[in-house]
Amino acid sequence: MPEISYLEAIRQALWQEMKRDERVFLLGEDIGCYGGAFGLTHGMLDEFGPERIRETPISEATIVATAIGASLLGMRPVAEIMFMDFILLTLDQLANQAAKMRFMFGGRTTVPMVVRMPAGSGTGAASQHSQSLESVLMHFPGLKVVNPSTPYDAKGLMLAAIRDPNPVCFVEHKVLYKTKGEVPEGDYTIPLGVGEIKRAGRDITVVANNIMVMKTLHVAEKLSEAGIEVEVIDPRTLLPLDTQTIIDSVLRTGRLLVVHEACQTGGWAGEVIASVVGSPAFDYIDTPVRRLGGKDIPIPYNRGLEKIAIPQEDDIEQEIRAMVEGRI
């Protein structure tokens, strides 16, 4: 199987789906001749032409509103919001329109669109270009929120997202763009709403998303040498959330830690923990349930501060050790 990057995996999914389905088109800022801020749509204008790779003005509200209109008329738009931070400009379109239409029109219409957005810090882009706002989007029933951590998941989830009849927020991570992994060349989908155990272990369940999955896997490998076996779960889709996989895991390990880059207060770790503590897994919990989120501060521009604003591998390792070794 060829090894490609996370970024290429997403491009491959878009490319293949545009070849397969002529209703699919892209729209966003600088996605044409510039190839997108991160180069994700590089070469696509030449292949598909300006009708299907549509440059837009700098107006996120317009981008999402256009995508909604097109999808209502039977198209399958994939919109790009250059930085996830700007999704806040589209909340009325996303939350009040896209998320509600299928319900309010009694199922007589659907909004089959995808809105892609790179999230996260680690690129020195400061407070307004580094946020992880996935928890915000989880509060709107009618939306789906997808959040891949590997190239393989990115392609399979993107294909599933485009084919899904509901509006899907596809949250990518900037730092993951360069990470590589095996990705099948052909067509495959990963069902939305199904999490995956990325690594099995008996001592503790760690639930993490996007970049934190990678960090936790590194820590898990290191701790394995010390005799601590960490089970790493990637929900992959945050809305709807696959709580059952997490609950089953906690039934086995008796310990739960949730790690995300998003600010801790109001972060989705609280949602996971509430689901587990309120489930039959409660009687199997043998250590206080914990979460490790980003600090409750705007992401600093200073690279050193930017790093300590979000959980790093050392933090994750210390937290896991404290829990497994009975110090919490």
Partner 1 sequence: MPVPFIMPKFDMDQEKATIISWSKKEGDFIKFDETVLTVETEKVAIDVPAPATGTLARILFKDGDVVPVTKVIAYVLKEGETLADLPKAQESQGTPSKPEVAPVSQPAIAPAAVTLHATPVAVRMAKEEGVDLAQVPAAGDRVTRGDVERFIAHQKTLGRVAIPATPAARRVAQESRVALETIAGSGPRGRVQAADVLASVKTASASTNGREAELVPLTSMRRTIAERMQQSFRESPHIALTAEVDMSEAESIRRLFNMQTEKQGQPRITVTALIIKVVAWALLRHPYLNASFHGDSISLWKDVNIGVAAAAPHGLVVPVLRNADRLGVSEINMQVTELAGRARENKLRLEDVQGGTFTVSNLGMFGIRQFRAVINPPESAILAVGSVVRKPVVVDGEDHVGVRPVLSLTLSADHRVIDGIVAARFLSDLVTGLESPSLLLY
Catalytic residue ranges: 129
Span near partner 1 by CB under 8 A; candidates 8-16, 61-69, 135-143, 280-288: 280-288
Distance between CA atoms of residues 242 and 236, nearest Å? 9
Tokens describing residue 256: 């739960």
CB atoms within 10 A of CB 280: 10
Tell me, by CB under 8 A, how many residues bind partner 1.
Answer: 10
Burial label, 59 (beta-carbon count in 10 A; 0-12, 13-18, 19+):
middle
Nearer to partner 1, 13 or 289 (CB): 289
Which span (40-48, 63-71, 197-205, 277-285) binds partner 1, by CB under 8 A?
A: 277-285
What gap in Å lies between CA 307 and CA 299, rounded to an integer? 9
Spell out the alpha helix ranges (H) of the chain. Answer: 6-20, 44-48, 60-72, 91, 99-104, 134-137, 151-163, 210-225, 243-253, 268-277, 303-308, 313-324
Question: Which of 122, 193, 254, 266 forms a contact with partner 1 (CB under 8 A)?
Answer: 254
Q: Going along 191-255, which residue ranges are E strands?
A: 196-199, 204-208, 230-234, 237-239
**Distances, alpha carbon 140 to alpha carbons 94, 113, 275, in Å:** 9, 16, 18
Q: Decide if residue 227 touches partner 1 (CB under 8 A).
A: no
Q: Does 103 bind partner 1 (CB under 8 A)?
A: no
Nearest distance, CB of residue 328 and partner 1, angstroms: 7
Question: Which CB, 197 or 328, lies closer to partner 1?
Answer: 328
Residues 6+ apart with CB under 8 A from 73: none
Q: Candidates 5-13, 75-83, 115-123, 278-286: pick the segment binding partner 1 (CB under 8 A).
A: 278-286
Kindly tell me which residue out of 285, 313, 315, 321 binds partner 1, with binding defined by CB under 8 A: 285
Binding segment for partner 1 among 103-111, 129-137, 306-314, 320-328 (CB under 8 A)?
A: 320-328
The least distance separating partner 1 from the CB of residue 205, rounded to whole angstroms, comes to 13
> Which CB, 193 or 254, lies closer to partner 1?
254
Q: Yes or no: say if 328 and 292 are a contact pair by the CB < 8 Å rule.
A: no
SS3 35: coil
Question: Contact between 284 and partner 1 (CB under 8 A)?
Answer: yes
Q: Which residue in the set 186, 227, 304, 326 belongs to the binding site for partner 1 (CB under 8 A)?
A: 326
CB of 286 to partner 1, least distance (A): 4
Of 4, 3, 308, 10, nearest in space to 173 by CA: 10
Tokens of 325: 């070794």
Q: How far is the CB of 184 from partner 1 (least distance, A)?
A: 41
Among 95, 121, 287, 309, binds partner 1 (CB under 8 A): 287
Which residues would be at the binding site for partner 1 (CB under 8 A)?
254, 282-287, 326-328
